[in-house]
Structure 1
Amino acid sequence: MNANAIKPFRVFNGNVNNRASRIFGGEASGICDWDDLKYPALLQLNKEMFSEYWIEDEIRLGDDLKDYRQKLTAKERYVFNVITGYLTQLDSIANRFNFLLGYITTDPSVASCIQLIASFEGLHNRSYQYLTSTMLNDSEKRQAFNAPKELATLKKRNQIIIDKIQETVDYMENVLAGKEEENTEKFYQVLYEGLLAYIILEGLYFSGGFVYFHSLARDNKMIGSNNMINLIKKDETQHNVFYGMVMQILMLENPSLNTDENYEYAVSFVKKCVEAEKEWAAELFSEIDTLSIKEYNDYVEYLANVICRNAGLSDIYTENKEVKSKWIINYGEKNGENRATKADFFETNVINYSHEGGDGFDL
């Protein structure tokens, strides 16, 4: 392993190959040669993400403004406000964390994908602001943007992943600033745990929040808002696939991460986040007729399974391998398309943890 994995990247190094030796802690010239990648699947994923470019102004919200004022109940408006508020919070975190990951990656193709993701997270942030600026008055905006700071159950849910992401940021910042001596083993472990928290942010906390908009659309309300959410959802699905792939590569390049302890940690962490999401949903969606808590909990478990597949884990919730409430697919896909997550970017090979030892992890 490279003993100085967090060193700032060199914009050009003519003494090494264009093809990166590792995605973190390796070497590369800095030239992004898409015909000579260590992981060619990154080119296709880069193209797919780039092809989804859109801007928030494409969505018309005139009818939604009428719906918000005339069709939504007071509780439905409250839920709309709170969800747009915490989605804005999470997107802001995502944007900043992507900046750090793009800074420390060795592989120019990985950096290129991360740059795209960061730009889309910035677009999503603007898009939520577009919803709030169109629909909400000043008092309602304060309610939306203060919710992540004031609501105890929401704060508890978010803090689980924020702490892990911040731990990753703090460690790298301390090493780069010379406040802490780098430990390669600690670096990859901290990165592993931070990435796991991040894909839960993308694949569970984002995607779970989107369901409420689908439920309103099913009730013929807030159609424009749901159309925008579906554009965002398509992006976030791609981001979750990408970072699941990064998790798998990280495990491949660092077999020491492939331990029973890390497998058990990952399963336990996912379950902890799922239970926190269910607790928050029970509070938020009470008195909401368009969405049942049972349906939502089943969908949350399905999302957790998708996250696990992307990251090379086995399904945790065997009762929810597929979406049970088909209306979520019907109202939750761009142009009505069923865009199921791609679970394997390595052709026919799938990375799995070894449940019996630490040496069975390969492609």
Structure 2
Amino acid sequence: MNTILPFKIFEAENSNLPTSIFGGGSSGIRDWDNLKYPTMLDINKNLSAEFWNEDEVKLGKDIEQYNSKLTEAEKYVFNTITGMLNQLDSHATDFNMFLSYMVTDPSIRSNIALINYFENLHNRSYQYLTSTMLNDQQKREAFEEVKRIPVLLERNKLVLDKIQTFLDTVVDYVVNKKQIDNNFLQASFEGLLAYQNLEGLFFTGGFVYFHSLARDQKMMGSNNLICMIKTDEVQHSEFYGTLIRSIMGENPQLNTTENQQYAVYFIKDCVEKEKAWAKYIFKDIETLSMKEYMNYIEYLANLIARNAGIQEPYPENQEIKSRWIVTYGSKKRDKNDSKQIVTRTDFLQTDAINYEHSSGEDYDY
């Protein structure tokens, strides 16, 4: 590998067909009929099919239920989980920006750009939930609270340290114009694996609380919005699993017993940190069984590993044992502009809930 980073926006002497994901050659022109990884076109189409706006989901009834039906413990968890999800999506936006800067395959950069759009949309959506239910001071407190909870900080640190190492590595290689080498590839592998756990474990696990409220016929609008976000995040997790497999395929020096063992141990460590966080945050929540949640987290860990081509850490946990997570964790969209009802299910889901698309106005107060 001899490409000096950052990549050039146009290199006429190179083929439109990129040679590799990192440190490769490419003209910079996107020819969707001439891709190194044709699956990137399918991913691009699937991502593009999911555009929506947060205020399409009306929350008038949720405001009433938040004030009259939720216990103080449920309100606290609603606020804190929303703030936590907003924090993680904030980090996701920055990770994707740095990653895209290093990728020399234009089709992959295009997909990362789409994913980053949705991460920003998700940030707005969490803001929409809190700004609708809370006054300004309460909302700010919810977003500040996640910076003060020790068990949450410890959980997040596990993945954020690896992501920060990747970001620091990008800066080092760009500023000093270093060539791609095994040190960069290793930092990328570990950073992407950490990001996979942020997307597929910490995000998706946090969504379960909203599903549990919906099962109790509470906050249905909020859960519908969360299900729309969840569909996006599932697509992102699948994309990054594909990216990890592709990088490992291009760079067989990464595909070692040590890295496979590291990946399994890292995922298990993330699971244990998530379980500790769940015991703290859900301790006073009657709509959510801790045993069910623990089983679900292990199931999600297997999906992360499977997507990335890694040995599953919990081979005995092959299916969702709590079917209500499927029932209340899926969505059904009605696109008025095409007069079609479109039902989308991800690899976690077989059922769907109804979602009525309507023109959005301002936030509901």
The TM-score with structure 2 as length reference comes to: 0.90
Deviation at 1:341, TM superposition (A): 5.8
Using the aligned pairs only, state the percent identity. Answer: 54
The RMSD of aligned alpha carbons is 1.4
Q: Identify the residue that residue 357 of structure 1 maps to in structure 2.
A: none
Tell me the distance in 1 between the aligned counterparts of 2:10 and 2:344: 42
Distance change in 2, residues 1:31/1:341 (3 Å): farther
Question: Are residues 1:99 and 2:100 paired?
Answer: no
- Residue 337 (structure 1) shift: 5.3
Distance 1:261 1:27 in 2: 30
Alignment match, 2:138 = 140
Q: Hey, what does 1:190 align to over in structure 2?
A: 187
- The amino acid across from 1:189 in the alignment is Q
Q: What amino acid is the match of 1:41? A: T
Matched, 1:221 2:228: no
- Quote how far apart the aligned CAs of 1:182 are: 5.3
* 1:102, distance to aligned residue in structure 2 (A): 1.1
Whole-Å separation in 2 of the counterparts to 1:127 and 1:289: 26
Q: 2:256 is matched with which residue: 253, 256, 259? A: 259
Write the distance in 1 (CA, Å) between the matches of 2:320 and 2:266: 22
Q: Which amino acid aligns with 1:68?
A: Y
**Aligned match of 2:283:** 286
What runs of 5+ residues in structure 2 fail to find an aligned partner? 333-342, 350-365
Aligned to 1:26: 24
In 1, Cα distance between the equivalents of 2:263 and 2:98? 22
User: Hey, what's the Cα distance between the residues in 1 that align with 2:18 and 2:178?
Assistant: 25
Q: In structure 2, what residue type is equivalent to 1:297?
A: M
Question: In the alignment, what sits opposite 1:340?
Answer: 347
User: How far does the alpha carbon of each residue in 1:110-168 deviate from its partner, in whole angstroms, 9 at most, with x for none?
Assistant: 00000000000000000000001000123422331112210000000001000000000
1:226 alignment partner AA: N
Distance in 1 of aligned mates of 2:170 and 2:2: 14
Which residue of 2 is the match for residue 108 of structure 1? 106
Name the SS for the 1:320 alignment partner.
coil
CA distance in 2, matches of 1:308, 1:140: 38
SS in 2 for 1:314: coil
Please give the alpha-carbon distance, in whole angstroms, between the structure 2 residues aligned to 1:265 and 1:147.
Answer: 32
| Structure-to-structure mapping, 1:123-162, within 5 angstroms | 123-162=121-160
CA distance in 2, matches of 1:256, 1:173: 23
The question of whether the paired residues in 2 share the 8 Å contact of 1:329 and 1:338 is answered with: no
- Find the aligned partners of 2:196 and 2:190 in 1 and give their Cα distance: 10
Is 1:325 the counterpart of 2:322 in the alignment? Answer: yes
Task: State the partner residue of 1:77.
Answer: 75
User: 2-side partners of 1:208 and 1:334: how far apart?
Assistant: 17
Correspondence 1:313 to 2:310: yes
* Kept after mapping to 1: 8 A contact 2:231/2:345: no
Determine whether 1:200 maps to 2:200: no
Residues 271 and 297, structure 2, Cα contact 8 Å, conserved in 1 = yes
Q: Please give the alpha-carbon distance, in whole angstroms, between the structure 1 residues aligned to 2:104 and 2:180.
A: 18
Q: Tell me how far apart the structure 2 counterparts of residues 177 and 38 of structure 1 sit (CA, whole Å).
A: 28
- Structure 2 matches for 1:227-238, cutoff 5 A? 227-238=224-235
The superposition leaves residues 328-353 of structure 1 with CA deviations (integer Å, 9 ceiling, x where unpaired) of 000001127542169xxxxxxxxxxx
Residue type of the partner of 2:112? Answer: I
Q: Judge conservation of contact 2:57–2:221 (CA < 8 Å) in 1.
A: yes
- Structure 1: gaps of 5 or more residues: 343-363
C-alpha contact 1:4 1:184 (8 A) present in aligned 2: no
Aligned partners of 1:247 and 1:188: how far apart in 2? 11
- Correspondence for 1:277 among 253, 268, 274: 274
Q: Distance in 1 between matches of 2:72 and 2:105?
A: 50
Check the 8 A contact 1:131/1:225 in 2, yes or no: yes
Query: What does residue range 8-27 of structure 1 map to in structure 2 within 5 Å?
Result: 8-27=6-25
TM-score in terms of structure 1 length? 0.91
In 2, are the aligned partners of 1:241 and 1:341 still within 8 Å (CA)?
no
Q: Deviations over 1:306-326 (max 9, x none)?
A: 000000012211232111000
Q: What is the SS of the residue equivalent to 1:291?
A: coil
SS in structure 2 at match of 1:319: coil
User: 1:156-185 CA deviation, whole Å, 9 max, x = no partner?
Assistant: 00010000000000111122222x955611
- Of 313-322 and 113-122, more deviation after overlay is shown by 313-322
